[in-house]
Structure 1
Amino acid sequence: MTLTESPRRSAARGDGVLSARPMRHPDASDEQVMTRRGWWLVVINWLIPGSAQVLAGNRRLGRFGLAATLVMWLLIVLLVAGLLLWRSATLSVLINPFVLVALTVIVVAYGVLWIILSLDALRLTRLVKTATPGRYLIALLSVALMLVTGGTVAFAAPRMLAASNAIDQIFSAGAPIEPDDGYYNVLLLGGDSSEGRDSLRFDSVSVVSVNADTGKVTIFGLPRQMLNVPFEEGTPMHDIYPNGFQGQASQTCSWNAWLNHVRQRVEVCDANGQFSETGGEDLYPDAAANGSAPGIEATKDAAEGILGIDVEHYVLLDMHGFASLVDALGGVEIEVTQRLPEGPGPAYTGQPAEEWATGWIEPGLQTMDGDTAQWYARSRYTTTDWDRMKRQRELQAAILEQFTPQNVLTRFQDIAAAGDDLVQTDMPQADLPYFFELAVKAKEQPIDSIEFTPNNDYGTDTTPPDYARIHQDVAEALHPTQDGDGEE
């Protein structure tokens, strides 16, 4: 620019230089030049969306595309850096349902823009001026890259929405929980609300203790037939049963002294032991507001009394939706040790299984679908209740093995949909990032399982267990460097 040259004239000269470049104004009569230009435009636009328009098309559209691309790159860099350096804080943001929906909108919008820019880049190549077979290969590459882009968006967006819905529907919005003596203790209930049952029953009761530092998992199995279970002091049920849970038989409201009948006692009958359609609300009035139910809260108090530890939250797995989860995971692999019947059970005492069984689960290593896995967990008429407890633990471990990153990513929508029908919990969303880190640590360690069954010398089928001994064994299992009294 000379001293007398105006800025406007200088800008005009700059535009003239740009317009002389072969990308914007190529020699259309030279097929080789047009072919090389076509390859460049298609590839560079896919790598840096918007760049093709800046070089050879609508610069305003190109600048908008480049700006959107830089924003997406910045978000990706921040996400990767956050997961590497501040994983808990980053996950806390990502698991927010509103954030997931917003990210889904951003991903879909950018994917649509990317495809629009790709179509425009293909137009800018002026295929009719390129050499054969280059024109067909350029078109094929452009379509393939657009399919990759669209496929990526189609893969990611529904999974992000499914995650948002699952988190919002399954987990509560409460405050984070604090570990009890170094452990997170969660009541794990296995229920069955399938057709033919008059109510949801807790067929499986256990407490999962997760070390707050190492992620080490210990599962305490509580037989559903445990008798005269104690309740934590200061709880509504302890006030009614200071000497342990007792059964009652009456025409209006009856239950026995088993652990899994605590729910029956609380939710079907009122505080006076009479039938009530709103039973339990007088004992646990805040249960529903906290994402729980009176029967669950009473069972939680019983678990605390049995084990001598605080149990803050629960997870209820409904066997009615269990099969859909197993199918969503692609099945589970189980080593079957004895032949088990499928079916509703005998019509009369002593009826052989061959007469009522609708099918059989044969011994050996099997990959079970949801229906078979459900029968594997339910089957009991030819084995003991303690055997069924063991099979349920095997099934839980097999399901956890299937939760690999690859399996979850490829089947996420089905898993999330199954979770809506399968899982109920009062665990807060705020704890999910920390529990995710603990789950990663837990995968690297074996799971300890302790069953308080009669064949392990904890009482008999007809007498209450030695609860004082259970307290000592739990303390020793969770704190192996300490004695049963908690002293070094």
Structure 2
Amino acid sequence: MALMLMTLLLPGSAQLVAGNRRVGIAALRIWLVLVATFLATLVVGIFWHELIFRLASDTFALFWIRVGLMALATGWAVLFFDAWRIGQPLTLSLGHRRAVVGVNGVLCLTVAGSLLFGAHLVGVQRHLMLTMFGSDQVTGAHDGRYNVLLLGGDSGAGRWGLRPDSMTVASIDADTGRTVLISLPRNMQNFPFVRGSVMHEQFPDGFDADYLNGVSTWAGDNTELFRGSDNPGVDATIMAIEGITGLKINYWAMVNLEGFKDLVDAVGGVTLNVRQPIPVGGLGDDVTGYIQPGVRRLDGHDTLWFARARDDSDDYSRMARQKCVMNAMLQQISPQVALRNFEKIADASSAMISTNIPGSEVDRFISLALKARNQKVSTLSLVPPMINTADPDIRLIKTKVAESIDRAEGTAPPPNKQKRHDGDPVTGGSIGSFSTGYAANEADDLGSAC
């Protein structure tokens, strides 16, 4: 029993005391090196989080960590069996022999099983990195900010992602993580494409063939214009977003809205302020129920409908609710929650998200996301009454986008009048109305507007 306990605490010590000393010395040296490496990584990681994020996103490092854990599990199990052998179990009485075998089996399975489960989680993370983050085209920050286009795929049989249901640019300060969410309505018309792009050559006077969310479909029908592109629809949409906002897009991420509910379920739900009954269903189907008002913890199904519902509402109220969901997810999903539900999150994410963010940049965005959690999130939606979606004032849009970013960076004063929303109506579950605008669609502090 003592030999097995020694093996649990210091692998190789049993062999050093009563068995093959050469094996014991080698095992102890390996163990001490591993413990020292782990402690050094932990200490450095506490002060420099990027090291941990880099290890968690580097597929080469993950491969060897997984191999190392599997080898450690096997070697430790062998040492337990050898410690049992050194204890000469055949000299014991039958009852003691059975007890020793049982204890050895429990210790062996517990230690080896834990290490092998850790190797499994590392393999899950490596698979996620390989399947989701396949691009190797790294782009630097533009004017000190990373601009990531978030697209909500209009899910459905054989068509998810072809016609974006929501479009939001997350403009993120490259140093502080301070984020501005800039949303564009799907029904915007007569907008320009960025100069020099393929779409600008086709529509030099602006896009008059469809709504903004139809750009992706148009590009999908004219793929010959996008030779070498893996995602013509996304590329064409980026050309439109850049032409409208004046921002240079670094990366994009397409979210399958139907699969989004699996992610919410994986983290145990999200808490939202439901201001009035939100219909479940609609969008061409029957309404089957309502999400009742109050501060409620919603599961994936109800969170999806909170973000998507349009019955008894309008597109712009829905956009405001979507901002509140984004803010809640950012603020409520802590590293501890992510770690506890890691495998579920990984499974949901791989089925939910398509992106061109390179794997080598994942550690950077994890770090920026953690910084953003401790700061206000600003929002700007290019919707009525500020913007006429049928004939948008592009110069005004670019001015508003620049002002919103400057205020977030602290280089521009706040508006002369800070609008109060205490007495505003609630329409479609959002503070405000179509004619006055919705609070969450233009706010320097999205959390307070939700």
TM interval, shorter chain, is 0.7 to 0.9
Of residues 55, 58, 80 in structure 1, which corresponds to 2:17? 55
Equivalent residue for 1:320, pick from 238, 255, 258:
258
CA drift at 1:366 = 2.4
**Alpha-carbon shift at residue 339 of structure 1 (Å):** 1.4
SS of aligned partner of 1:285? coil
Distance verdict in 2 for CA 1:205–1:173, change over 3 Å: closer
Tell me, yes or no, if structure 1 residue 264 matches structure 2 residue 264. Answer: no
Asked if structure 2 preserves the Cα contact closer than 8 Å seen for 1:175 and 1:430, the reply is no
Q: Determine the structure 2 residue equivalent to 1:8.
A: none
Report the TM-score, using the length of structure 2 for normalisation. 0.83
1:468 aligns with 2:430: no
Q: Deviations over 1:310-334 (max 9, x none)?
A: 1121011011321221121122222
Which residue matches 1:287? 229
Q: CA 1:324–1:68 in 2, change beyond 3 Å: closer, same or farther?
A: same
1:458 aligns with 2:387: yes
The C-alpha deviation readout for 1:252-310, integer Å capped at 9, x for no partner, is xxxx2x11111122112xxxxxxxxxx2232x22321xxxx111111111111111111
- Report which of the two structures shows the higher radius of gyration computed on alpha carbons: 1
SS at match of 1:358: strand
SS of alignment partner, residue 77 of structure 2: helix
Q: Does residue 354 of structure 2 align to residue 427 of structure 1?
A: no
How far has the Cα of 1:140 moved from its partner? 7.2
Distance change (3 Å), C-alpha of 1:475 and 1:43? same
User: Helix, strand or coil: the match of 1:263?
Assistant: helix
- Structure-1 separation of matches of 2:77 and 2:99: 18
Residue 156 of structure 1: how far off its partner (Å): 1.5
**Whole-angstrom CA distance in 2 between matches of 1:376 and 1:330:** 16
What residue identity is the alignment partner of 1:113? G
Distance 1:318 1:57, change over 3 A: same
> Are the counterparts in 2 of residues 227 and 465 from structure 1 also a CA contact under 8 Å?
yes
Aligned residues: 411
Q: 1:72 aligns with which of 34, 40, 65?
A: 34
**Do the aligned partners of 1:177 and 1:431 also contact (CA within 8 Å) in 2?**
no
Question: Do the aligned residues in 2 keep the contact of 1:340 with 1:362 (CA within 8 Å)?
Answer: yes
Query: CA–CA distance in 2 between the matches of 1:118 and 1:396?
Result: 50
RMSD of aligned residue pairs (Cα, Å): 2.8
Match of 2:273, SS state, is strand
Runs of 4+ in 1 over 6 A off after TM superposition: 127-131, 133-141
Q: Please name the residue that 2:446 is paired with.
A: none
Distance in 2 of aligned mates of 1:172 and 1:388: 32
Distance 1:142 1:377 in 2: 54
Distance 2:52 2:292 in 1: 47
CA distance 1:75–1:219, shift in 2 (3 Å): same
TM-fit CA distance, 1:179? 0.6
SS at match of 2:392: coil
Shift of 1:211: 0.2
Change (3 A) 1:409 1:155: farther
Mapped to 2, the partners of 1:346 and 1:91 lie a distance apart of 43
Distance 1:89 1:285, change over 3 A: farther
1:217 to partner: Cα distance: 0.8
Task: Give the aligned partner of residue 24 of structure 1.
Answer: none
Percent identical across equivalent pairs? Answer: 33
Separation of aligned partners in 1, 2:52 and 2:168: 32
Query: What CA deviation, in whole Å up to 9, does each residue of 1:97-124 have, x standing for no partner?
Result: 1321221111011022212222332444
Which residue identity lines up with residue 223 of structure 2 in the other structure? G
Q: 1:414 aligns with which of 335, 344, 348?
A: 344
Hey, what's the Cα distance between the residues in 2 that align with 1:410 and 1:222?
Answer: 35
Matches for 1:241-390 after TM superposition, within 5 Å: 241-247=203-209, 256=210, 258-268=211-221, 279-282=222-225, 284-288=226-230, 293-345=231-283, 356-390=286-320
SS of equivalent to 2:29: helix
Partner of residue 82, structure 2: 120
TM-score normalized with structure 1 length: 0.77
1:169 to partner: Cα distance: 1.0
Which whole-Å CA distance do the structure 2 matches of 1:42 and 1:450 have between them? 63
